[in-house]
Amino acid sequence: MFGTVVVGVGIAGLARIRDLMNPMPSSPSEHLKLLGFVSRRSFGNINEAKQISLEDALRSKEIQAAFISTENRSHEETIRMFLEAGKHVLVEYPMALSAKAAHELWEMAEKKDKVLHVEHIELLTEEYKQLKKEVAGKDLVKGTLHFTGHVLDENKTGFPAFSGIARLTWLIDLFGDLTVTSATRELQKDKNYSRMTVHFQTANK
């Protein structure tokens, strides 16, 4: 069994705790043992998972891997701490708020001989796999992807483009590398409204 800890207990973190405590039969999760969770808030226990301190999680010899599900802003620092402590790391996207930091973290994981995996669960769904089959071998002429969500706290999540990075990952996985040709942002603070419009071009234009 591989000892794990979940860091952060928002929506993603609670889902991780649930799935680790009730793994699907014959899934890789059956080989993972949840030894606790870390949160800035005081919970005590969630179901049968016990709350432990960050320091204990980093020091524990029984914990070999960390699932990081905190706000975007803190991903980079938390990854560094767990890699330094010799743990494997799975982090919810995005890994960091800059490409430079992401490359540094990859290099660090490689030097430490640890797995650093950025999770994008949407790419593993049956719906997405079907979409990928449908576009295989076809040329993209023109397309639009529109999605909505609540207004995010930029201090925690980073620039608005990060709230759409999951969809950007979709497009790159489906159509290859993309180049940004233009980007605009509309902001109406009095209405708590923000909109970002980005145009991309594929390698074959």
Q: What is the pLDDT of residues 114-168, one digit of tens each?
A: 999 998 878 888 898 999 999 998 888 898 888 787 777 777 777 777 666 777 8
**Looking at residue 162, what is its pLDDT?**
67
Q: Six-digit token pair at 3?
A: 């000892």
The residues spanned by each domain of the chain are: 1-120, 137-200
CA distance 176 to 202: 7
> Is the separation of the CB atoms in 96 and 115 below 8 Å?
no
**SS3 of 158-199:** CCHHHHHHHHHHHHHHHHCCEEEEEEEEEEEHHHCEEEEEEE
Indicate the average pLDDT of the chain. 89
CA distance 185 to 187: 6
Check whether domain 1-120 has CATH 2.60.120.620, yes or no: no
pLDDT tens for 167-195 read: 788 888 999 999 999 999 898 889 888 88
Identical fold between 1-120 and 137-200:
no
**Looking at residue 98, what is its pLDDT?**
87
Q: φ and ψ at 182, to 5 degrees?
A: -165, 155
Helix (H) or strand (E) holding 127, with range, is: helix 126-135
Name the residue with higher pLDDT: 129 or 24: 129
pLDDT tens for 157-168 read: 777 776 667 778
Looking at the chain, the whole-number percentage of residues with pLDDT higher than 70 is: 98
Average pLDDT of the residues in 53-81: 96
Average pLDDT of the residues in 59-85: 96
How many CB atoms are closer than 10 A to CB 162?
Answer: 18
Q: For residue 157, how far is the Cα from the chain centroid?
A: 12
**Looking at residue 80, what is its pLDDT?**
98
This prediction has a pTM of 0.76
Q: Which CATH architecture has domain 137-200?
A: 2-Layer Sandwich (3.30)
**Looking at residue 89, what is its pLDDT?**
98
pLDDT of 75 higher than 90 = yes
pLDDT tens for 39-57 read: 999 888 888 899 999 999 9
pLDDT band at 85; cut points 50, 70, 90:
very high
pLDDT band at 68; cut points 50, 70, 90:
very high
Helix (H) or strand (E) holding 84, with range, is: helix 72-84
